[in-house]
Amino acid sequence: MSGTGPTSGAGPGVSGVILTVTPNPSLDRTYEVPSLDRGEVIRATGERMDPGGKGVNVSRAAAAAGRRTVAVLPLGGAPGALVAELLAAQGIEVAPVPVAGATRSNIALAESDGVLTKINAPGPELSAEEQELLLETVREQSRDADWIACCGSLPRGLAPSWYADVVARAHAGGARIALDTSGPALLEALRERPDVVKPNAEELAEAVGRPLATVGDALKAAEELRGMGARAVLASLGADGQLLVEEAGTWFAAARVDVVRSNVGAGDSSLAGFLVAGGSGPAALASAVAHGAAAVRLPGSVMPTPDDLDPAAVTVTAEVPVDRALLEPVS
C-alpha cells in the first residue's frame, strides 16, 4: 500500500490539487436487485465493488472530472489494500496511513425503483499513534492543496473536535477547507470557520435542532450555520435541489432527473462538482447540481464524467422558493 503525494514547490491555489481526507473509508459492494424481500433468496441483476467513504468519493468524482486529487485515508488489512488498488486504478494519488485494524466493508442493495438499503460496518478504532500519523499525513500532503475536503463520520478513537483541528491547521497553511460531516463533529468544526460546509437536509435539521418543512426553513437553517462560523453553506435538499448561502449572495438550484438508479455517492459527486468549478458562486452551484444529478442516473457509486453531465437540465436562481414544501420534510 504505497502512495504518492503531490510534488512540492507549488503554493495553495497554484497546482489546483483537491486533497480529500476520509477518516473512516470503506470497501463498498453494491448489488442491484429487483426488490428487497425479507427472508427470501434475492438474485442480483448487477453488482459493483468500489472504494468507499465520502472523501474517497469526492476524489473519485474530481478525478473523473479531470482534476488532480490526492486521497488521505487510514487503511488496514486486505480490504484496505484493495481500496488503495482500486483508487490507483482510477488515477487517484493515495496517501495511506497504515492502521492495525481492517478497513470496513459496506453493502448496498439498490432496488429497481431507486430505493437504497445500506449496511455500514463501524470500521476500526484508531490508536493515539495512528490518529497523530493521520493528522501529520494531512499536514504533509496539504502543502500543494487548493482545497481540502474533509468528509464523513469519524472512526472510533477520534474525538468530535478532530475535524476542528484539521480546519485550524489547514487555514494556518493557507488552504481552503470544505467540510461534509454531521453531529458534534460539525458543530465543533464550525468554530474554526470552515470555508464551506455541505449538510444534507437531515444534517441541517439536526444542526439547528428543529424540523425543516420548506425550502425557506432550510434557508434559515443554513443562515444560522453561517452565524455559527461557516463561511458558506452548500445545503443538499435531495430531489428538491440545493441551496448555496455565502457572503456574496444566496442561490437555489435544481435539476431534472428522469431515472434514478442509485444515490450512493451523489452528494459527494455534488461536492466535487462544486470544488472543481471554483467552490463559490452560482456557477459552482450549477456544477454541483449537474454532478449530483448525473450521479443518481448511474449504477452503484459510479462517478460521472463530463460526458455524463447535462448542464441544460440545471436551473439556478437568486429567487429562492422559500414557500415550497420539501418533498420529504425532515424532523
**294-313 pLDDT per residue, tens:** 999 988 778 999 999 999 99
pLDDT above 90 coverage of the chain, percent: 80
Number of domains the chain is built from: 1
Residue with cell 455534488: 270
Range with lowest mean pLDDT among 72-86, 104-118, 266-280: 104-118
Tell me the C-alpha distance between 62 and 77, whole Å.
26
**Is 1 within a domain?**
no
**Is 272 within a domain?**
yes
Which pLDDT tens digit goes with each residue over 152-176? Answer: 999 999 999 999 999 999 998 889 9
| pLDDT for residue 331 | 61
**Is 8 within a domain?**
no
**Is 11 within a domain?**
no
**Is 320 within a domain?**
yes
**Is 206 within a domain?**
yes
CA dihedral 268, 133, 173, 233 (to 10 degrees): 30
Tell me the C-alpha distance between 56 and 72, whole Å.
9
Q: Cα separations (Å) of 136 from 19, 133, 171, 285, 299? A: 14, 5, 15, 32, 36
- Of the candidates 74, 62, 111, 75, the one whose C-alpha atom is nearest the C-alpha of residue 277 is 62
Q: Is the pLDDT of residue 13 over 60?
A: no
Handedness of CA 216, 219, 221, 227 (dihedral sign): negative
Q: Is the pLDDT of residue 113 over 90?
A: no
Q: The whole model's pTM is what? A: 0.88
Segment holding 109, helix H or strand E: strand 104-111
Question: Which range of residues forms the domain containing residue 144?
Answer: 17-330
**Is 6 within a domain?**
no
| Banded pLDDT at 9 (limits 50, 70, 90) | very low
| pLDDT for residue 226 | 98
- Of the candidates 20, 7, 130, 149, the one whose C-alpha atom is nearest the C-alpha of residue 75 is 130
Residue with cell 486533497: 19
- The predicted model gives 62-71 an average pLDDT of 95
Contact between 265 and 57 under an 8 Å Cβ cutoff? The reply is yes
| pLDDT for residue 258 | 83
| pLDDT for residue 5 | 37
| pLDDT for residue 173 | 87
CATH of the domain at 275: 3.40.1190.20
| pLDDT for residue 11 | 35
Residue with cell 445545503: 235
pLDDT above 70 coverage of the chain, percent: 95
Contact between 199 and 219 under an 8 Å Cβ cutoff? The reply is no
| pLDDT for residue 110 | 86
Q: Cα separations (Å) of 203 from 117, 183, 186? A: 19, 7, 9
**Is 264 within a domain?**
yes
Q: Is the pLDDT of residue 8 over 60?
A: no
1 SS3 class: coil
- The predicted model gives 219-247 an average pLDDT of 97
The residues annotated as belonging to the active site are 268
